[in-house]
Structure 1
Amino acid sequence: MNAQRFYVGCAGWSLGREHLLAFPTQGTHLQRYAAILGSVEINSSFYRPHRRQTYARWADSVPADFRFCVKMPKLISHVRRLQHCEQELDDFLGQCLGLGDRLGCLLLQLPPSLAFAEPLADAFFVALRQRFFGEVVLEPRHESWTDAEPLLVRHRIAQAVVDPSRISTDSTPRGWQGVKYWRLHGSPRIYYSAYEQHWLENLAHTFKATAEGQATWCMFDNTASGAALGNALTLAASLHGEA
């Protein structure tokens, strides 16, 4: 697709029964998923660590142009609240870097109660950037993070576009513009509702019109009722001119 790089996928690679015909019948769920969709968001890393060998096995299961986004552990974001977590960063990165060049970006989702404090955030991002030079996406959920734009740009941190919106600046790409990341949780019923086809087609048009060579991600997290997979297939088809 010339210089444009679109990564469409789901939070996890579960294959719902209603969409099985869209995927090959052979292979693991990840192999079958990766044969059709080009990316996935690993959410399980938020709850528990995975061995480096597990990440390496996942990387070996997918095509060369497939990319993973890995969600950072809640131990860092919700328990440590970005403070005094250098060892946790080392442990996490030592694990997920097993993905090698299949690692597309890291996702840091913050708790709604974590307000923006520039010295704290700056110290965390310095520690992160001392260890990891790839793409990082932030999903803040406290309104005070609307003041974080200069800091995010300085540390090359993209702010995710989120639906349903959580704060007043998450309806358009913010922060560093080297990567753009949509995280769609389903609306009006979060985690459950499917997005309508015309809405997804309009979103595909937006992606095509605004992409400037940087990676554009769209991850569907409306997985509770299986809507995510169908939405990802529809959007991917629209981006490839098949819808």
Structure 2
Amino acid sequence: MILVGTASWADKNLIDSGLFYPAHIKTPSDRLAYYASQFPLVEVDSSYYALPSERNAALWAERTPADFRFDIKSFRLFTQHQTPPKVLPVDIRVALGAVEKQHIYYHDLPEELRDELWQRFRSALRPLKDAGKLGVVLFQFPPWFVFRQSNLEHIAACARMMEGFRVAVEFRHRSWFDDQHRENALEFERRLGLTHVVVDEPQGFASSIPSVWEVTTPEIAVVRLHGRKRETWSQKGLESSAERFNYLYSTDELRKLVGAVKTLASKAREVHVVFNNNFGNFAQRNARDLAQLLLES
């Protein structure tokens, strides 16, 4: 089973473009219902910026078809991204006490507060899991998260915290798949039952990962397509992240991906293909086109 979708149904750039949702679709619930009538899969990125809520997850499950899937991005603190204290739950902020820094990191929190955040994150995903609509929980690590023992140990700790959930891992530093570390990284994912994320993105940067078309878990494989716009991939000071992903795949480019996606499908029971080229309606256009090409091949 190959499911094709996009990263977010509520991206501001998408809504403001007016190019995907019909004019009468105005509310978040109507947007989700319409999106789910067009695609079988979506990736939730709001969970990266703040902990998701159990209530929202229950509503998402209620408002989508029985066979719809949600891939959920991990909360940023867990993936060692810088995190503004203001996005933490109020009681966690109070327990943490005064923080002088603008951003905190995973190691800045005492273990009991980290454990509480993990517990709340798992609980928030439970309605989707119980409904059979939770795909993977995506841990997308930052560009400074390089291949080294301490980072392997952190990933293993994340996997333990998410026991019972399907965990997918995406790296953003080339050291993970250079000649020295590629096989070790893949074997590490296999050993821990982590789903390797195949990426398509601009090459030639420290933050560039090659497209490694490998399956590390037989249950599911994940492909994330970020576009190929080299000019803005590592550019600082962009007005919005949409500028980084301002890339529309051509039909020929999509056609060349079909065989590789189908090969993954021969090795995994389910394949999730997520377009993250979130500029206007580019992701939705490309997702529809690729789904059609897969049907025709």
Same fold (TM over 0.5): yes
Gaps of 5+ in 2: 82-104, 231-243
Matched with 2:212 is: 172
- CA distance in 1: counterparts of 2:157 and 2:26, whole angstroms: 45
Cα RMSD, aligned residues only:
2.9
Alpha-carbon offset, residue 87 of structure 1: 3.2
2:142 to 101, 106, 111: 111
Q: Aligned pair 1:204/2:233, yes or no?
A: no
Q: Aligned pair 1:90/2:119, yes or no?
A: yes
Cα distance change on mapping 1:175 and 1:205 into 2, 3 Å: closer
Q: What TM-score, normalized by structure 1, do the two folds share?
A: 0.85
C-alpha contact 2:229 2:245 (8 A) present in aligned 1: no
Matched with 2:283 is: 228
CA deviation digits over 1:68-89, x for unaligned, max 9? 00000111111317x9543332
Q: What TM-score, normalized by structure 2, do the two folds share?
A: 0.70
2:45 to 43, 46, 50: 43
Cα distance change on mapping 1:123 and 1:113 into 2, 3 Å: closer
Gaps of 5+ in 1: none
C-alpha contact 2:42 2:69 (8 A) present in aligned 1: yes
Matched with 2:106 is: 80
Aligned length: 237
CA deviation digits over 1:149-199, x for unaligned, max 9? 222111111221112156676402346142221111111254110101122
Cα distance change on mapping 1:90 and 1:229 into 2, 3 Å: same
SS of 1:18's equivalent in the other structure is coil
Alpha-carbon offset, residue 25 of structure 1: 10
C-alpha contact 2:225 2:277 (8 A) present in aligned 1: yes
- CA distance in 1: counterparts of 2:4 and 2:62, whole angstroms: 20
Aligned-pair identity (%)? 28
Query: Which structure 1 residue ranges, 4+ long, deviate > 4 Å from structure 2?
Result: 24-27, 165-169
C-alpha contact 2:215 2:221 (8 A) present in aligned 1: no
CA deviation digits over 1:63-112, x for unaligned, max 9? 1111000000111111317x954333222111122212100111000011
- CA distance in 1: counterparts of 2:224 and 2:158, whole angstroms: 25
Alpha-carbon offset, residue 8 of structure 1: 0.8
1:10 to 6, 14, 35: 6
Name the one with the larger strand percent.
1
